[in-house]
Amino acid sequence: MAPHVKGGVAMAMRSARDQWQGKAACRGPQSAAFFPPAYPERKDERVTREARAKSICAGCIVREECLDYAIRIREPHGIWGGLNEVERKQLMDRRAG
Ligand code: SF4
């Protein structure tokens, strides 16, 4: 395949990805709630932070695309599509049967 065609496919894939990410409800300052802070986080802080992030996901119009993406790339950190890393792993295990 000619390089320019490969580039075209890559650009189309990137464009599709960017389209859902551009509609993400977590864009902006609240995005910090979706990943652990740089300092050690107490359990109650994590529970509160994740609940805040999940409440934003609950109203996000691209939740399904986001979760599919995180599962596809096996994202190891953070809240994606309303699930944390442990919940995504459990979902993948259930799907694997
Ligand atoms: S589902 Fe949650 S993490 Fe994913 S884009 Fe929407 S708000 Fe962000």
At 21-34, the pLDDT tens digits run 999 999 998 899 99
Q: Which atom of ligand 1 is nearest to the CA of 25?
A: 7
* Residues framing ligand 1 (Cβ under 6 A): 24-26, 34, 56-57, 60, 62-63, 66, 79-82
CB contact at 8 A, 63 and 81 = yes
Q: Which of 19, 20, 30, 34 to mutate to test the pocket of ligand 1 (most atoms within 8 A of CB)?
A: 34
Give CA separation, 31 vs 12, 16, 56, 85, 93, in Å: 26, 21, 10, 16, 27
pLDDT band at 5 (very low <50, low <70, confident <90, very high): very low
Q: Between 13 and 7, where is the model more confident?
A: 13
**For residues 84 and 71, is the Cβ–Cβ distance under 8 A?**
no
Q: pTM, whole model, 2 decimals?
A: 0.82
Whether pLDDT at 52 is above 60:
yes
- In this structure, the residue with its CA closest to atom 3 of ligand 1 is 80
